[in-house]
Structure 1
Amino acid sequence: MRLFLPILAAAGLLVPTAAQARDDAQLWTGVGGTVKLGGRFKLSQDVTVRLSDDRGGLYEIESNTLLGYGITDKVTLWAGYTHDPNYAGGDFTVMEHRAREQVTFDNLARIGGGTLSGRLRLEQRWREGIDGTAWRFRPYIKYTLPFRAGHKTALVLSHESFVNLNSTGFQGVEGAERMRNAIAITTPVARHVNLEVGYLNQHSFVPHAPDNDDHAATVTLGLSF
């Protein structure tokens, strides 16, 4: 993890310099794929592993399985399940389960040679041994700009907001809870395989205290069939 600190420190210059309760260097690695099932149906599966300096290494393995139905060529409805064990320094702490519903909008508009896409996601979260169902809304927008017209290597800019719709024993903040802003480069590395490498800032809002920032180097493989 210490190898990423110089890169993340430089990227952190883009983040507001207000006093912060925590400034953590992280590494997020993932692999995901989408398979057409026939007709308008498709299946999506992805797994993300998150490592943290402040948390002593592994702290989360998030696995998402979604079934999608294309309403149009640009709009798809999805529903599925998230399996999300949490760790502290690699030691298991608590299991989180989520139901997930979302609608994705592909190629909404062309701006300056790039394309704009978006997603609206709703989640219901449960943690074993803790009462309550936590509801969360996550709007997301992404801009993809190819480096050369007609080529697939591109710059990707994205923003995602996390809005908690209620509070529970493990979701203590109601309202805007955090946001993720990311910059990455995506490029094909083989047939049906894309590699995306970038930087993500996760800014958490802390009531009556300084906010927190996670600076994550991100490496993701995307498969499409």
Structure 2
Amino acid sequence: MAACCMFGVAMAACPTRVLARDDAQLWLTGAATVRIGDRWRFSQEVIVRLSDNRAGLSEIESNSLLGYRLAPRLTVWAGYTHDPTYDGGRLAAMERRAREQVTLEDIRVGPARAMLRLRTEQRWRDGVDGTGWRVRPFVRIAVPLHAQGATGIAFSHESFINLNRNAFQTIAGEDRMRNALALYTPVAKGVNVELGYLNQYRFATGAAGGSDHAATASINLSFR
């Protein structure tokens, strides 16, 4: 019920004029992080995206990362992303990415906790020449609903900044941005659930951009 209210409030706060390229979506995420050594971590994340404009399934993004903890709050990661996209039930594109990132976690600001991440990616599309290079700075702030509580609200922002152009990465500079609001709560030891809303604004060259309005649901397992 709380997630539905949050989604309604977020949608009401968006501009009333709906662009032709706007889309209603549902994003479902499952993620797990496992400790495999004193400093080593392995993370697996799968995101399934459903799109109104694409008549159902639009994407299955699978991210595998190996991390090395340099300090208690600082971890470097590297891995691979397998990302097929679909349109009308048919495969539209097959994208593969190399991914590197640095995360700084559990930064205390009063009752809030912040997480900073800088991600770089090299992108390839099957059947298309060229490599797309981009960076993705990300910030998340989690605020508990009451002192010392494990349930709270999280706000996040992420920008996608392209470093070059090619046949499938046609915009140089900021290509899109994501702003999200989610309610999070633990449901068991090491298991956290989030429900919320995400707005993804897509920039366009010489034309109005478009927004993806996504209801989000995720389950995150942590065995660190």
TM-score of the pair, normalised by structure 1: 0.93
> Is this contact kept in 2: 1:27–1:50, CA < 8 A?
yes
2:217 and 2:10 mapped to 1: Cα distance? Answer: 16
Matched-pair contact (CA < 8 Å) for 1:28–1:51: yes
Q: 1:193 aligns with which of 173, 186, 191?
A: 191
Q: Which residue, 163, 166, 180 being the options, matches 1:165?
A: 163
Moved more, 118-127 or 186-195: 186-195
Please give the per-residue CA displacement for 1:65-104, whole angstroms capped at 9, x wherever unaligned.
Answer: 0000001011100000000011112221221000000000
Distance of 2:117 and 2:40 partners within structure 1: 18
Residues 20 and 151 of structure 1: CA distance in aligned 2, closer, same or farther (over 3 Å): same
Give 1:101-112 correspondences, 5 Å limit: 101-111=100-110
- Cα distance, 1:16 vs. partner? 4.2
Gaps of at least 5 residues in structure 2 are: none
1:176-191 matched pairs, under 5 angstroms: 176-191=174-189
Count, aligned residues:
221
**Percent sequence identity over aligned pairs:** 52
Distance apart, 1:7 and its partner CA: 7.6
How many angstroms apart in 2 are the aligned matches of 1:174 and 1:196?
33
Q: Is the 8 A contact 1:19 1:210 kept in 2?
A: no
1:136-170 Cα distance to aligned partner (Å, 9 max, x none):
10000000001122221110000000000001111
**SS of residue matched to 2:150:** coil
State which drifts further: 84-93 or 7-16: 7-16
Q: CA 1:201–1:145 in 2, change beyond 3 Å: closer, same or farther?
A: same
How far apart are the structure 2 equivalents of 1:21 and 1:172? Answer: 20
Would you say 1:123 and 2:121 are equivalent positions? yes
Does the CA-based 8 Å contact 1:117-1:143 persist in structure 2? yes
Partner of 1:218: 216
